Chains A and B, each alone.
Chain A
Amino acid sequence: MTERHLVALPPERPRDPSEAATRVVEDVLADLDGAHRGVVVDSPPGAGKSTLVVRAAAHLAAAGERLMIVAQTNEQVDDLIDRIAGRHPEVTLGRLSASGYVPSERVLAHPAVRVAQKADDLAEHTVVIATGAKWATLAEGSWPWAIVDEAYQMRSDLLLRIAGRFERALFVGDPGQLDPFSTVEVERWAGLSWDPMRSAVSVLLAHNPELPVHRLPVSWRLPASAAPVVSDAFYPFTGFRAGTREGERRLEFQARGMGTTYDLALEEAAATGWALYELPARHTLRTDAEAVRATAALAVRLLQRGPVAHSEQGSAPVGADRVAIGAAHRDQVTAIRAALGPHGAGITVDTANRLQGREYDVTVVLHPLSGRRDATAFHLESGRLCVLASRHRHACVVVARAGIPELLDAHPSTEPVRLGVPVKFPDGWEANQSVLAHLARHRVQAD
């Protein structure tokens, strides 16, 4: 999780979430027409980041500006292409990619989008999109504008390599997600304002403190049951609210339960938006078979119950493609995938890292601290839990062994402190406590 900067609150906050969000977007677009060299937009989970990127791209394109878009993964690039091409067919769009890239169906669906390996081939295109890694291979070329998506997940050393390609830029991202990391010792640069390990936004603002920073104030993804929980735990100084009211989203099951603890947990989640499926306290391996089994079984049971999601977008059955399972470690993901079996086909299972930016109706989460005897910095990283607890539109079921509060209480607080490094908020330890305190009210104990 990245350090926070202060965001000036608008003088008066419109009560209607839609109006509040619209106002921020208008402010952002107005800033793009201004003289700022850069504009930053903080976007909490599901606050319409992609929509903003699409609008800003169209806005700049309409003003006759050539524009480059930087995303972090090929997946994200393809998502953006699909959205921009779908909504603004008039914009000429090019995708810059590495030689091994095979266009996805989402890209092939828009035959007007040109895929090329060399920037020269896209010189005539108004908007060119690529991953940060691809942009960094370019030695020349310059665009008047750039939009940098997921800018908090981008390491500042990558920004350094591509910043020469644009004159002005809009940086959009979620400050609450996972911090960039490295496999080597990085202490050498601690405290430097250009520390390559800091996020792109952090370094940008350290050197350009006068740039305007906006914050999207409404999460359209998170339901009213989740927005305050996630906001309080992970965005203590820059809160946001839900776009929908209590009761506006409902999850119903077409099939009746059989009174098993799985059913009880799912019913609790459907009724309140949260459930904690608690297994007996025990120290285990990471791939705790019982917890893995429960996680997979809850997801399968959910599908068997014929869930239907009612929301402001209407009513629709929740299929496997709208369900995700999240875990901290890759070996847990592998074990859960294996445990899902044929009834769970189509359910997404992934680590927090890979679930960043994704959205589902229902999620089942294997708590990172489940079964641990000691918490490590990895397990406590607040961004990890934040990603896992903020992917859902309707409900989130957390699977954990009992005893996590005790584990947190026993956690030795001896983290080294480096001079000049801004303090990170929230502290992972506190964020974990906060989420657990909430989950405790939605506890269903396994038999």
Chain B
Amino acid sequence: MSVLSSLARLRAASTGAAEPLATVRHCHLVDAPLVLVPLKLSGEAAAPLAVMLGAAPDDATLLVVPQPRNRDLRFAFAADLAKLVLNHIETSHGSVEELPPGKEGEERIRYGNAPQLLVPNRGGVAFLRLLGRSTRFRGTEGPYAVDPAVPVLGRWLTWFAERHDHPGSSLLHAMTELLRLHWATGQSSLEDGNLAALLGWIDPPDGLDGPSAAARAEDPVACPPAGPTTDPSFDNEVLAPAIAAYHESHGDPRALERLRAAVHGQVAPTWELMWRAVGVLRALPEGASVPGRWERDRDAFTYYHQTFGEAYPQARRDPPVRAARRLHDLERAQDAYDAQRAFDDPLVMAEHRLSGQAFGGLVTECEPDRLDETGKRPKLRPLLRIGTEDPVRLDPGTVVCNAARPALKGRIVEFDGGGVLLELTGGMGRRLTAEPGTVPGVGERVCFTSLSEGSWGAARFPDREDTPWTHGGPPAEYVPTDEDAEEDWS
């Protein structure tokens, strides 16, 4: 949290309407995302109660486990869910793009599109992760056999949850996180965890303002929680009797219908909110580096989809090399994502200007033809003085780049009260005179920053079988066991 976003919160609190934290959309949105609103049974780790899902606002399917403690009913639910989700995955990859062959001449392709999953909140992501964990090891033969689609679903859900951890990925999003990335409300971040309250500040229902919409959202009767945990009074007063009635009726369709209706009442409002939120996000123009990140997502999807048949279910915990490699990938992605957001969005860059890692202002002096002739060969080193009121905290010698065109690089020579003197070092063409238009002229508004996109190189890791003695040596290769397949799910 910076003073800049704190100020946005203060303004929102005083006006009663959310304040923007972004001027562009920093996530990709596919045309038909798969929205899932899951509910689980209270007190259980991941016993599904229901999920409403679909890829269009008017195309919702509600799946309900009428007796969540019944193992067979749970697996029947998982199988139904699997069919819908897997069908969505299979129909979402679009055309196949042929890429130039890889280093060893192997064929490379990329799907033109990828499935995108949206859930209401972080709890929803955690639930999908656990549902994936509880289904991916299931056996499809033997005494505890489940529908073949169930373990496949488990692996895909696990994969989506892992992509969610990947900074900048848009394959699985929690709606509250997406909204919070783009708007500040006049309530605390804790209260922002409530989707209805958060959206109430951003896009309040008719006749309400932010605070009144948020107050309404906190009443579980008017606004059922967005899950996956249900409201305790609903559990005690509605759900428990309905489940009991179903149980006692030995599967009477009318009892089932009453139960489904009760659950429908709990998820339908969130379903509406999800699609309204999608609309609100879609209204923002897409940030310039969003397509690039989505391309990485499509690469990841293509790879997993192509190799699905050869791979085992994901291990319960990362072995040493996998853990280190994953941490590196995440840190690298985080670094790039932070920089890209700032380059794409002046409002995000403003945060860096306030913290002194970037500065903006008008060019006051410019020496575009200056040459550095101290070395063997002269080098083009234009000087630029930029007047700025920003609190610059960059030491002389720091390498910076132009926010509007990051290829244009320079080095800070000096900084005094009102201005920064920069020596430009690259991004002006290869000759001793700058390519036209590359060096900003006097009076031009510019912004330079020490952020950079590619500061993290790829890293080398040992192979799994070379895991060193310091880390316990090579771990046994993971092979799913019968025990995994038979794990209790009660």
Q: Which of A's residues lie within 8 Å of B, judged by CB? A: 37-38, 136-137, 139, 156-157, 159-161, 163-164, 169, 182-186, 188-189, 192-197, 200, 203-204, 207-208, 330-331, 334
Contacts and interface: CB of A to CB of B under 8 A. Distances in A.
Contact of B330 (A37, A139, A184, A200): A184
B472 A207 contact: yes
Contact of B461 (A161, A183, A189, A192): A161
A11 B472 CA distance: 31
A159 B468 CA distance: 9
A185 B162 CA distance: 12
Most buried by B among A163, A164, A193, A196: A196
Contacts of A208: 469-470
Contact of B462 (A164, A192, A197): A164
A260 B25 CA distance: 57
Contact of B318 (A156, A185, A188): A188
5 contacts: A161-B459, A163-B470, A185-B165, A188-B326, A200-B470
A269 B158 CA distance: 59
A188 B133 CA distance: 13
Nearest to B320: A194
Contacts of B318: 188-189, 192
A184 B323 CA distance: 13
Nearest to B469: A37
Given A183-B334, A188-B318, A331-B393, A196 B468 contact: no
B467 to A, nearest CB: 7
Interface in B293-341: 317-321, 323-324, 326-328, 330-331, 334-335
A62 B468 CA distance: 27
The 5 closest A-B pairs by CB, nearest first: A163-B468, A157-B324, A194-B320, A207-B472, A184-B330
Contacts of B473: 207
Interface in B159-191: 165, 167
B331 A184 contact: yes
Contacts of A182: 327, 331
B356 interface: yes
A164 B165 CA distance: 29
Contacts of B470: 38, 156, 159-160, 163, 169, 200, 203-204, 207-208
Given A185-B165, A334-B356, A157 B472 contact: no
A401 to B, nearest CB: 20
B460 interface: yes
B331 A196 contact: no
B355 interface: yes
A188 to B, nearest CB: 7
A186 B165 CA distance: 10
A156 B334 contact: no
B376 interface: no
Contacts of B389: none
B466 interface: yes
Contacts, number: 93
Contact of A160 (B167, B334, B461): B461
A164 B468 contact: yes
Given A163-B462, A164-B466, 14 more contacts: A139-B460, A156-B324, A156-B470, A156-B471, A159-B468, A160-B324, A163-B471, A164-B468, A182-B327, A185-B330, A203-B471, A331-B356, A331-B393, A334-B393
B466 to A, nearest CB: 6
Contacts of A330: 393
Contact of A207 (B321, B326, B469): B469
A188 B461 contact: no
A196 B327 contact: yes
A342 to B, nearest CB: 15
A197 B356 contact: no
Contacts of B466: 164
A188 B326 CA distance: 10
A194 B318 CA distance: 9
Contacts of B319: 194
Contacts of A192: 317-318, 323
B326 to A, nearest CB: 8
A334 B393 CA distance: 7
A100 B319 CA distance: 34
Nearest to B468: A163
B356 to A, nearest CB: 7
B321 A160 contact: yes
A156 to B, nearest CB: 7
Contacts of B321: 160
Residue among B460, B468, B471 with most chain A CB within 10 A: B471
Nearest to A169: B470
A115 B109 CA distance: 44
A331 B165 contact: no
Contacts of B469: 37, 163, 207-208
Contacts of A157: 323-324, 327-328
In this complex, the member of B165, B327, B356 whose beta carbon has the largest number of chain A beta carbons within 10 angstroms is: B327
Nearest to A138: B460
Contacts of A38: 470
In this complex, which of A157, A188, A193, A208 has the most chain B Cβ atoms within 10 angstroms of its Cβ? A157
Nearest to B466: A164
Nearest to A165: B468
A369 B459 CA distance: 37
A184 B462 CA distance: 22
B323 A194 contact: yes
A157 B461 CA distance: 9
B323 A195 contact: yes
Nearest to B333: A184
- Most central of A161, A193, A204 by chain B CB within 10 Å: A161
A336 B115 CA distance: 52
A178 B398 CA distance: 26
A141 B355 CA distance: 44
B61 to A, nearest CB: 31
A136 B456 CA distance: 14
A186 B393 contact: no
A183 B335 contact: yes
A157 B459 CA distance: 11
A189 B316 CA distance: 11
A358 to B, nearest CB: 19
A193 B393 contact: no
Contacts of B393: 330-331, 334
A158 to B, nearest CB: 8
Nearest to A287: B391
A197 B324 CA distance: 9
Nearest to B463: A164
A197 B470 CA distance: 15
Contact of A189 (B323, B462, B472): B323
Contacts of A194: 319-320, 323, 471-472
B328 A188 contact: no
A197 B462 CA distance: 18
A186 B327 contact: yes
A330 B471 CA distance: 34
A108 B335 CA distance: 35
A184 B456 CA distance: 14
Contacts of B165: 184-185, 188
Interface string B429-470: 000000000000000000000000000000111100011111
Contact of B167 (A164, A184, A197, A200): A184
Nearest to B355: A331
Contacts of B334: 183-184
A136 B471 contact: no
A381 to B, nearest CB: 19
Interface string B268-298: 0000000000000000000000000000000
A189 B327 contact: yes
Highest count of chain B CB atoms <10 Å: which of A37, A160, A195, A203? A160
A136 B468 contact: no
A331 B391 CA distance: 10
Contacts of A193: 472
